[in-house]
Structure 1
Amino acid sequence: MILGICDGHNSSASLIDEKEIIYAASEERFTRKKNFRGYPANSIDYGINSFVSEKDELSAITVGGQFRKGERLKKLKILQENLEIPMYYFNHHLCHAASYKLSDFKECLILTMDGGGDGLSSTVSIGNGSKIETIAQSDLIDSVGDFYASITELLGFKPMEDEGKVMSLSSFESDDSKINLDIIDYNEKTKSFKNYLGVIGSESTKALKRILDYSTPNKSYDIQISKFVQSKLEEVVLKLLKQFVEETGIKNIVFSGGVAQNVKLNKQIIEQDFVDNLYVPPFTGDEGLSIGSSILCSKHDFDLKNTYLGYEIDNCNVEKIVDLEKNFKVQYIEENDISESVGKLISENKLVCVSREKMEFGPRALGNRSILGLPTNENAKKLAKTLKRNSFMPYAPTILDEYSESYLKNKKYSPYMTMLFDCFESKKSEIEGTVHVDGTTRAQTLKKEFNGTFYNTINFLNDATQIPAVLNTSFNLHGEPIVCNEIDAINSFKKVGDYLLLGNYLIEKLD
């Protein structure tokens, strides 16, 4: 068994054994600090205490990222001394690239792209069997991810966290003229990106503020700038991919790193004639480095069945907590009755928070740490107000896979919400609360084998409403990490939702 660690941005820990990922969790879920940076002590402890029965079951520690100093390095060394096993450090982008082993491609082009890590901001590689051959790189100065993050900061959002807000804004129409500036591009001769600003980080934000003559927030101009950065991102990435597909003849693409969370870009990639297939792993951000580093240390391929890999809700813990609460009505629900009970509440237009079984790993809630409701505009507006979430940010649906072709153009199986689809005009009214202003939706398509209880809940709802879909958003207040344990669920439920399914306990608020 290999213990994987990421101790940087959005730190995490994981455990793999032969061909199986046994456990993975982000430290932010335990500390309740979004995108926690640092040594993932809680994630490590929970994984070892829950899944490692004997010390000698652990054969190695792998660490995502090579460059670190001070306390971070000291803590890793102490862990190694306590466990008395080898520790291996792997390059940041190589760890991102290792996720190609989770795809079913025999050969693929691997694109990794983020703000930066271990001196690089993007790489292109060929994945073939157990080999990764890197064929192009861009350094930290020429970082497309940093360019997008700088625009995010310019618009008053948090860089390295709120890029999704910029992407959402870019879908709105603007009356202003189109911005056309040569700030970043792709150079086919050097096979790398080129940042004409020559600076990154806060210096980049200052330079862009001057160039774009940006002073105070202005909705129309904010949309115009968002459209500019999104268009430029798509332009340069497609230019890079087209060159390498033509040079290698490989049309299966694996895309990882933080930029791969941009689903509008992913949609553009898969729609290109020169691309056959696109695989985006469910944990493309730096949290995935812990798993990626362990994959690099293993000789096996991996079959990822789902991302339910984290903290597991315990009914015994729930019993102790709810006994102390005075303003709740609590009912135990047998496992076989959960889908009908929750489905009925949703059909009655109740918002149901769900926190049960193992927590998902990655940025998306996929039914085990979700808020569920009818996919209506009414619920979307209600949630935006309650969660204090920007009104321009869209919500996502979970649709039963066998019905999804009726709703989604060019439908592909999408269990992890990593893809964006156009919604058929005739179906928009049925799921209007989860369709963005541009007619797209970031849908999870769900098969029964992925999550049987969640599937049966939506199936019950379909029988009642003739709509095989729910609005599915992550169970957390805006700006907080997704809930992890029983106490997190109770605390968040006090501020959002009508009912809470916590383990097997259905909890209702009393007025």
Structure 2
Amino acid sequence: MILGICDGHNSSTSLIDEKKIIYVASEERFTRKKNFRGYPTNSLNYGLNSFVNEKEELSVITVGGQFRKGERLKKLKSLQENLEIPMYYFNHHLCHAASYKLSDFKECLILTIDGGGDGLSSTLSIGNNSGIETIAQSDLIDSVGDFYASITELLGFKPMEDEGKVMSLSSFETNDSKINLDIIDYNEKTKSFKNYLGVIGSESTKALKRILDYSKPNNSYDIQISKFAQSKLEEVVLKILKQFVDETGIKNIVFSGGVAQNVKLNKKIIHQDFVDNLYVPPFTGDEGLSIGSSILCSKKDFDLKNTYLGYKIDNCNVEKIVDLEKNFKIRYIEEKDIPEIIGKLISENKLVCISKGKMEFGPRALGNRSILGRPTKENANKLAKTLKRNSFMPYAPTILDEYSEIYLKNKKYSPYMTMLFDCFKSKKQDIEGTIHVDGTTRAQTLKKEFNETYYNIINFVNDTTKIPAVLNTSFNLHGEPIVCNEMDAINSFKKVGDALLLGNYLIEKIN
């Protein structure tokens, strides 16, 4: 069994055995500090206590990222000494690239882009049965991810966290003229991105503020700047991909790193004539480094059936907690009755929080830590107000896969919400609360074998409302990590939702 560790930004712990990922969880879910940076004490302890019976079962420790010092290094060395097994450090971007092993491509181009890690901000590699061959790199100065993060900070959002808000704003229309500046580009001769600012981080934000003459938030100008940033991102990424598809003839693309969470960019990539297929892992950010490092060590292909790999809700823990609550109506539900009972509540236009089974890994809630409702504009507005979420941020639907081609143009199976689709105009009204201003939707398409209980809930909703979809947003208060354990679920439910399915217990508020 391989123990994987990421002890940097959005740290995590993973356990891999043979070709199976047994466990993986982000430390933020335990500490309740979003994108927690540091040694993953809690996720490590939960994994070891829950899935490792004897210390001898562990054969090696792998660490995502090579360079660290001080307390971080001391804690890793202490872990190694305690377990008495070898420990290997792997390059940050190589760990991102390792996710190609989760795809079904025999050969592919692997593009990794983020703010930076281990001295690099992007790599372009060929992945096949022989391993990974890196053929292009960009250093920390020429960082596309940092450019987008600096725009995020300029607009008053949190860099390395709120880039999705910039992406969302870029979909709105404005009468202002298009911004056209040479700030970031791709150089075919050097095979590297080029940052004409020559600075990154806070210095980049200051330079952009001066160049764009930005003094304070302005809706129209914010949209204009967001459109500029998104357009530049798409332009430079398509340039590098086209060059290497032309040079290698390889048309299957794996895209990883934090920038791969930009679904508008992903949509642009998959619609290019020179691309046959695109695979975006469900954990493209740094949380995936723990798994990536272990994959590099094992050198095997992995069959990823789903991402329900984290903390598991325990009915015994639920019983102890609910006994102390006085303002709820509580009852136990048999597993077979969950789809009908929860489906009926949703059909009656209730917002139902779900915290059941194992927690999903990655940035998206996929039915085990979700808030579900009918996909109406009314529910979208209600949630935005309750969660204090920016009004321009869209919600996503989960659609039963066999019906998805009725709603989605160029439909592809998308169980992890990593892709963006155009919705047919004739069907927009059915799922209005999950359609963005540009007519797109970041849909999860769901097959029964992926999550049977979740599938059956939506199927009941479909039988009742004739709409095979629900609004699905992550179960957390805005700015907090997705809920992890039983107490997290109770605390969040007190502020959002009409009912909570916690394990097998249905909890409803007493009016």
- Pair in the same fold by TM > 0.5: yes
Divergent runs of 4+, >2 A: none
Give 1:3's aligned amino acid.
Answer: L
Deviations 1:23-53 (A, max 9, x none): 0000000000000000000010000000000
| Contact 1:121/1:144 (8 A) holds in 2 | yes
What CA deviation, in whole Å up to 9, does each residue of 1:2-26 have, x standing for no partner? 0000000000000000000000000
Alignment correspondent of 2:62: 62
- Look up the equivalent residue of 1:60 and give its one-letter code: V
Report Cα offsets for 1:337-363 as digits up to 9, x if no partner.
000000000000000000000000000
- Residues 84-140 of structure 1: CA distance to partner in whole angstroms, max 9, x if unpaired? 000000000000000000000000000000000000000000001141000000000
Which residue identity is paired with 2:58? L
Contact 1:2 1:58 in 2 (8 A): yes
- Inter-partner Cα distance in structure 1 for 2:26 and 2:291: 11
**Counterparts in 2 of 1:470 and 1:456: CA distance versus 1, 3 Å:** same
Residue matched to 1:330: 330
Matches within 5 A, 1:5-404: 5-404=5-404
CA distance in 2, matches of 1:300, 1:379: 44
Instruction: Assess, with a 3 A threshold, how the Cα gap between structure 1 residues 341 and 178 changes in structure 2: closer, same or farther.
Output: same
Counterparts of 1:299 and 1:191, CA distance in 2: 28
Q: Quote the Cα distance in structure 1 between the aligned partners of 2:339 and 2:300.
A: 37
Residue 466 of structure 1 corresponds to which residue in structure 2?
Answer: 466
Aligned residue type for 2:482: I
Please state how far the C-alpha of 1:299 moved relative to its aligned partner.
2.7
Say whether 1:431 aligns with 2:436.
no
CA contact (8 A) 1:110 1:253 kept: yes
The answer (yes or no) to whether the contact 1:130–1:299 under 8 Å persists in 2 is no
Task: Check if 1:413 corresponds to 2:431.
Answer: no
1:132-181 Cα deviation digits (max 9, x unpaired)? 00000000000000000000000000000000000000000011111000
Using the alignment, how far apart are the partners of 1:70 and 1:339 within structure 2? 51
Structure 1 residues without counterparts, runs of 5 or longer: none
Q: Percent identity?
A: 90
For residue 76 of structure 2, give the secondary structure of its aligned residue in structure 1.
helix
Deviations 1:176-222 (A, max 9, x none): 11100000100000000000000000000000000000000000000
What's the secondary structure of 1:113's corresponding residue? strand
Distance in 2, Cα, partners of 1:488 & 1:128: 42
User: For residues 3 and 388 of structure 1, what CA distance do their matches in structure 2 show?
Assistant: 38
- Per the normalisation by structure 1, the TM-score is 1.00
C-alpha contact (below 8 Å) 1:6/1:63 kept by paired residues: yes
Q: Which amino acid aligns with 1:406?
A: I
For 1:220 and 1:301, locate their aligned partners in 2 and report how far apart those are by CA, in whole Å: 48
| C-alpha separation in 2, matches of 1:379 and 1:406 | 22
- 8 Å contact kept, 1:5–1:289: yes
**What CA deviation, in whole Å up to 9, does each residue of 1:299-353 have, x standing for no partner?**
3210000000000000000000000000000010000000000000000000000
In structure 2, the residue matched to 1:451 is 451
The one-letter code matched in structure 2 to 1:340 is E
Distance 1:130 1:425 in 2: 46
Structure 2 gaps of 5+ residues are none
State how far apart, in whole Å, the 1-side matches of 2:366 and 2:130 are: 30
User: Structure 2: how far apart are the matches of 1:108 and 1:58?
Assistant: 32
Residue-by-residue CA offset, 1:419-453 (whole Å, 9 max, x unaligned): 00000000000000000000000000000000000
Amino acid at match of 1:41: T
TM-score by length of 2: 1.00
- What is the total number of aligned residue pairs between the two structures? 511
| 8 Å Cα contact 1:367/1:454 also seen in 2 | yes
> Aligned partners of 2:432, 2:129: CA distance in 1, in Å?
43
- More divergent stretch after superposition (355-364 vs 122-131): 122-131
